[in-house]
């Protein structure tokens, strides 16, 4: 299902996302008695994580604003009149390739704090972001400085992990497939084909010294809602400047046959002064989920590092000539 189809049903989905009435009776039940969340879902949305300043004090958009935003998002990549050659290249894909989703009808995905904004950074986080190494890596990852090795690139460029926990929307590949069996839930993400296998028993988390790209998840049912708690993140699996100290609680509630309400709360006392919560409706789709071929890792990484070494070689030759 593409964004044009989403727009046609946008109003009803917005109302459902904003005013869900989750009860276990709304969910189909698996043969072993758990609420059934299985299927392929799309979580793409153009609603920003944080509330823009022009919407300060407003939780909801009007119907007319939602329609206008959806139409603008649907045609943005095809509006190339007046662009320079470089601007046309920078715009990259046309609308065929994008799958941004639609507006949820809210001014922001963040619902707590009430202002729809991320909490303030802690002093430790500010110092971390201003460190020499953090500044160097920021330049490398924007293509403004040479990479010393593959570890300098982010996990997406290395085709290891693209979507962190919590699950967030991007411009395309926003499909997620959920599969269930007695005692387990598996969440398979389309981009870079990441999968989390989540046990639903009372087993403890893995040892604190074991760190993973997607953390260590444990789940349980609370009525009709799947609650998943994730800890033990790798210090390289950053999300909005938080890292291994991140603690995420996700809630998956099937509020209708074709909608899951996905709510997540993120805590990291080394990064933010308080926890924060966001909510995103997931829409059921027929799929399919295709194999994701991440060519950045196959070709781009080699080319980036080769180019960096060539730049160093030229600099060495220049210094040698001057001497």
At residue 14, the pLDDT reads 45
At residue 269, the pLDDT reads 97
At residue 77, the pLDDT reads 64
Burial (Cβ within 10 Å: 0-12, 13-18, ≥19) of residue 320: exposed
pTM as predicted: 0.86
- The answer to the question of residue 315 being in a domain is no
CB within 8 Å of 119: residues ≥ 6 apart:
113, 272, 273, 274, 275, 276
Q: What's the Cα-to-Cα distance from 126 to each of 123, 164, 270, 276, rounded to whole Å? A: 5, 21, 10, 18
The 3-state secondary structure of 242-301, one letter per residue: ECCCCEEEEEEEEEECCEEEEEEEEECCCCECCCEEEEEEEEEECCCCCCCCCHHHHHHH
At residue 16, the pLDDT reads 46
What are φ and ψ of residue 77, in 5° steps?
A: -75, -15
Alpha-carbon gap, residue 137 to 132, rounded angstroms: 9
- The answer to the question of residue 301 being in a domain is no
Walking along the chain (323 residues) 10 residues at a time, the average pLDDT comes out as 46 45 65 97 96 97 95 76 76 77 96 98 96 93 86 87 89 94 96 93 95 97 97 94 95 97 98 98 91 76 86 85 78
- The answer to the question of residue 100 being in a domain is yes
- The answer to the question of residue 39 being in a domain is yes
What are φ and ψ of residue 20, in 5° steps?
A: -70, 150
- The answer to the question of residue 323 being in a domain is no
Alpha-carbon gap, residue 2 to 29, rounded angstroms: 29
- The answer to the question of residue 309 being in a domain is no
Report the domain count for the chain. 1
Of residues 43, 40, 42, 30, the one with CA closest to residue 200: 30
Determine the structural domain holding residue 122 and report its residue range.
3-292
Strand (E) positions, 165-235?
Answer: 175-181, 184-189, 194-199, 216-222, 225-231
Residue in the structure block whose two tokens are 């390289």: 236
- The answer to the question of residue 320 being in a domain is no
- The answer to the question of residue 26 being in a domain is yes
């Amino acid at each position: 299902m593409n964004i044009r189809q989403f727009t046609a049903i946008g109003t009803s989905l917005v109302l459902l996302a904003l005013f869900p009435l989750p009860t276990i009776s709304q969910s189909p039940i698996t043969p072993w008695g758990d609420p059934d969340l299985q299927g392929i879902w799309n979580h793409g949305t153009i609603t920003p994580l944080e509330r823009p300043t022009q919407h300060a004090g407003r939780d909801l958009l009007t119907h007319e604003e939602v329609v206008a935003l959806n139409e603008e998002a649907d045609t943005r990549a095809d509006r190339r009149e007046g662009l320079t050659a470089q601007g046309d290249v920078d715009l990259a894909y046309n609308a065929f390739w994008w799958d941004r989703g639609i507006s949820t009808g809210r001014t922001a995905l963040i619902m707590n704090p009430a202002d729809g904004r991320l909490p303030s950074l802690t002093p430790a986080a500010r110092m971390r972001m201003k460190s020499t190494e953090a500044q160097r890596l920021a330049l490398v990852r924007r293509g403004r400085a040479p990479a010393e090795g593959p570890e300098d690139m982010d996990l997406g460029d290395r085709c290891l992990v693209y979507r962190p926990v919590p699950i967030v929307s991007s411009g395309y590949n926003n499909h997620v497939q959920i599969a269930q069996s007695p005692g387990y839930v598996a969440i398979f993400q389309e981009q870079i084909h990441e999968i989390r296998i989540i046990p639903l028993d009372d087993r403890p988390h893995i040892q604190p010294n074991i760190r993973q790209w997607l953390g260590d998840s444990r789940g349980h049912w609370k009525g009709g809602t799947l609650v998943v708690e994730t800890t033990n993140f790798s210090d390289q699996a950053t999300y909005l400047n938080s890292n291994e100290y991140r603690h995420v609680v996700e809630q998956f509630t099937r509020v209708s046959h074709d909608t899951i309400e996905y709510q997540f709360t993120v805590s990291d006392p080394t990064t933010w002064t308080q926890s924060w919560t966001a909510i995103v409706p997931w829409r059921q789709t027929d799929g399919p989920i295709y194999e994701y071929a991440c060519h950045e890792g196959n070709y781009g990484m080699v080319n980036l590092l080769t180019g960096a070494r060539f730049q160093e070689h030229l600099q060495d030759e220049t210094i040698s000539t001057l001497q």
